[in-house]
Amino acid sequence: MSEPVVPILSGRELSFVAGGRQLVTDATLDLVCGTTTILIGPNGAGKSTLLKLLTGEIKPAGGRIDIAGEALTGVPAWRLACLRAVMAQHARLVFPFSVYEVASLGVDGIGRALTRQRREAIVAESLAAAGVIDLAGRRYQTLSGGEQQRVQFARVLCQLEAGRSVAERQVLFLDEPIASLDLCHQLSLLDMARSIAARGVAVLVVLHDLNLAVTYADHLVVMDQGRIIAQGPPARTLDDALLRQVFKVDLSLSRAPAPGLPFLLPQQHRSRPAA
Amino acid sequence: MTLAAPAPSVSATALTALISGRRRIGLLAVAGLSLACLLLTIVAIGQGAISIAPGRVAEILMAKLTGDDALLQGRDVLVVLNIRVPRVLLGLLVGAGLAVSGALMQGLFRNPLADPGLVGVSAGAALAAAATIVLGDRFLTGTLMKLPFAVLPLGAFCGGLVSTLALYLIATRGGRTSVATMLLAGVALGALAGALTGLLAFISDDRQLRDLTFWSLGSLGGASWTKLSAVAPIILPLLLLMPLLARGLNGLMLGEAEAYHLGIPVQRIKALTILLVALAVGASVASAGLIGFVGIVVPHLIRLSVGPDHRLLLPLSALGGAMLLVGADIVSRLMVAPAELPIGIVTATIGAPFFLWLLLRRTSVLDV
């Protein structure tokens, strides 16, 4: 590490209050290009709220966020859309848009400077990459939950690709992107997230599956009750005490032989008497 | 990228065919509807107490446009240029305005059952109109009293704008407009305005009641060049600026947060849409009374035939709405000639059964 790494996005001492409840407290987090950061924590820990703060969707009550060296609040919506793409948890559509139209939404806004051929090529590539090109003519609403999620992923890929003509360094936010996917698609989506990171994008993923989190994270962030209570490389961040404290499970981490990554077996939980 | 993607060459070809097919349907629909709208306009100008053949109508219009005064002789020329043309133009303008407003409201509220009345324009305008008709006799004196048909549209227009503004302020907190709050507040405000309108009807005399009833059923009867020149500058901005809203509304279909993530200036789109719709609907109501169902029927028909993309939906709705209203006006003039049926009756008679049919095949139109 000869040169200091300049994060594309940095949040300093962020806090957010809603309805008198402190949802995020004093959260400090850097997202670095080329790195996959995975955010874990129990339900209600404030993961989605932190994600919304970092995407600019909601404004922090305290603290400061910089993206690409500028204060996030000063960046206009369209330029922000070139700098970062977001896949939210649920995206429901009201009218019968086709899969192709939904994916195109990613390039329609910020890709206006591109030629039509280029835009169509971007959409086709993204649909193919997300494995939904065969569904292109289908109505979005007739798809299964997992298929819809992959279409949303294709839309986000479109936006990243269109934004790349404006912004060299980008951030990708994925909020529980694999919640309704089968195992094969879970793994391939996370593989793709990592390959996007390898291309130089800073990727932030909210995940619930701890084994997948430690497998795919370069940087693991653990949240509980609105605070970031640990962050760092996965192997050094998770330990039994943290699991007990945060996730209220009395399990012990094991080590897989080859890469040395920790893993847990929930089966242990059943063999023990309730604490 | 390492995904089990199916043979890309085959899929890509199919995709190209899909896209170009879609574009062709869109172009065909725009061209076809434009042509049909033009033909219907010419037919409509010929219909009425004095029937004029479409060929003659086209001749008169061409002569007028080319400035060929020699051909502009005769009674039918006067009828066409002074009575029929402003009436049909008003019908085109109001129909297009109402249908586009409906499409915009459904998009903005993400609700397939939204109509222009939702922004509170209709209720406020109706209350103001009722107040003008009923209380005008008692409180407006002198010259104003001699101009009831100038005061009524103005009152209706102001009433519509004031209620929209009130709704917008109620629903906006910290620079963000909640469309859900606006929807609910609109229902409450509509009920209140309805009650007050009812109260005015209760205290009105027979003549006032009749005026009120006829106004609330709508009519293009009072059209004139003066009226048209007052209404056009208020409705045209909506029709001219709608291309600016189309992309934003497409993005809003995913939800407000997603639209923001896509780089869409959500609050600006919402405010502009509400403003343009309030103006256009206010002017329509003021000039032609309450005309229901155009804003619901037309956008849904277009969605069923070419899909929900606003870039196509908005211009096609404008054409469809213009045709529906002008067509309904022909019916209203011919059904009980020489009298005229209020046009609101005709549009509702077409609209209500269509609406029911829409509900019956809900699974494909609505997100349920």
CA gap A212, B205 in Å, rounded: 77
Q: Which of A102, A141, A192 is the closest to B3 by Cβ?
A: A192
Please give, rounded to a whole number of angstroms, the shortest distance from the CA of A269 to a CA of chain B.
34
Instruction: Say what the pLDDT of residue A231 is.
Output: 94
Going by pLDDT thresholds of 50, 70 and 90, the confidence category of residue A1 is very low
Q: Which of B3, B18, B364 is the closest to A96 by Cβ?
A: B364
- Whether A102 and A149 have beta carbons less than 8 Å apart is answered as no
Partner A, chain B 126-145, Cβ-Cβ below 8 Å? none
Mean pLDDT of A47-55: 94
Number of Cβ atoms within 10 Å of the Cβ of B202? 9
A225-253 residue pLDDT tens: 999 999 999 888 888 888 888 888 888 88
Please give, rounded to a whole number of angstroms, the shortest distance from the CA of A255 to a CA of chain B.
27
Contact A105 B8 (CB under 8 A): no
SS3 A94: coil
Residues of chain B with pLDDT under 50: 1-8, 365-368
Task: State the Cα torsion A201-A206-A212-A215 to the nearest 10°.
Answer: 40
Phi, psi of A36 (to 5 degrees): -100, 115
Q: Which neighbouring-strand residues pair with B177?
A: B172
CB-neighbour burial class of residue B259 (10 A; exposed 0-12, middle 13-18, buried 19+): buried
Instruction: Say what the pLDDT of residue B43 is.
Output: 92
Residue identified by tokens 């603290």 is A63
CA gap A147, A160 in Å, rounded: 20
Q: Tell me how many residue pairs between chain A and chain B have CB atoms under 8 A apart.
A: 131
Angle at A195 between CA A194 and CA A201, to 5 degrees: 80
User: What interface predicted TM-score (ipTM) does this complex get?
Assistant: 0.89
Going by pLDDT thresholds of 50, 70 and 90, the confidence category of residue A261 is confident
Q: b/e map of A73-104 (b: 16 or more CB within 10 Å)? A: eebebbbbbbbbbbbbeebebbbbbbbbbbbb
Which tokens in the block code for residue B206?
């027979």
Number of Cβ atoms within 10 Å of the Cβ of B142? 6
Q: Which of A56, A82, A124 is the closest to B15 by Cβ?
A: A124
DSSP string, B255-320: -HHHHHHTT--HHHHHHHHHHHHHHHHHHHHHHH----SHHHHHHHHHHHHH-S-HHHHHHHHHHH
SS3 B171: helix
Partner A, chain B 80-109, Cβ-Cβ below 8 Å? 106
Instruction: Say what the pLDDT of residue B145 is.
Output: 53
Which tokens in the block code for residue B254?
């995913």
**B303 and A CB contact within 8 Å:** yes
Contacts of residue B251 in chain A, CB cutoff 8 Å? Answer: 105, 108-109
Instruction: Say what the pLDDT of residue A274 is.
Output: 53
Contact A86 B258 (CB under 8 A): yes
Q: Which residue of A has its CA nearest to B367?
A: A94
B190-221 residue pLDDT tens: 889 889 988 988 888 888 888 888 778 888 88
Instruction: Say what the pLDDT of residue B22 is.
Output: 83
Higher pLDDT, B277 or A271: B277
Q: Which amino acid is at B189?
A: L
CA gap B127, B285 in Å, rounded: 12
Q: Residue A270 above 60 pLDDT?
A: yes
SS3 A31: strand
CB-neighbour burial class of residue B63 (10 A; exposed 0-12, middle 13-18, buried 19+): middle
Q: Which of A77, A97, A133 is the closest to B5 by Cβ?
A: A133
Contact A88 B261 (CB under 8 A): yes
Q: Which residue of B has its CA nearest to A186?
A: B3
CA gap A191, A36 in Å, rounded: 11
Contacts of residue B364 in chain A, CB cutoff 8 Å? Answer: 96
- Whether A48 and A118 have beta carbons less than 8 Å apart is answered as no
A164-218 residue pLDDT tens: 988 889 999 999 999 889 999 999 999 999 999 999 999 999 999 999 999 999 9
Contacts of residue B266 in chain A, CB cutoff 8 Å? Answer: 77
Contacts of residue A101 in chain B, CB cutoff 8 Å? Answer: 250, 307-309
Instruction: Say what the pLDDT of residue B311 is.
Output: 93
B278-306 residue pLDDT tens: 888 888 888 888 888 888 889 988 888 88
Q: Which of A56, A105, A124 is the closest to B262 by Cβ?
A: A105
- Whether B299 and B106 have beta carbons less than 8 Å apart is answered as yes
A72-116 residue pLDDT tens: 999 998 899 999 999 988 777 878 899 999 999 999 888 888 898
CA gap A172, A84 in Å, rounded: 6
Please give, rounded to a whole number of angstroms, the shortest distance from the CA of B148 to a CA of chain A.
44
Q: Which of B15, B110, B264 is the closest to A94 by Cβ?
A: B110
Instruction: Say what the pLDDT of residue A257 is.
Output: 66
Mean pLDDT of A48-52: 94
Q: Residue A125 above 60 pLDDT?
A: yes
Contact B260 A77 (CB under 8 A): yes
Instruction: Say what the pLDDT of residue B104 is.
Output: 93
**B18 and A CB contact within 8 Å:** yes
**B262 and A CB contact within 8 Å:** yes
**B110 and A CB contact within 8 Å:** yes
Contact B1 A124 (CB under 8 A): no
Residue identified by tokens 């709704």 is B167
Most B CBs within 10 A among A95, A99, A150, A175, hence the mutation to make, goes to: A95
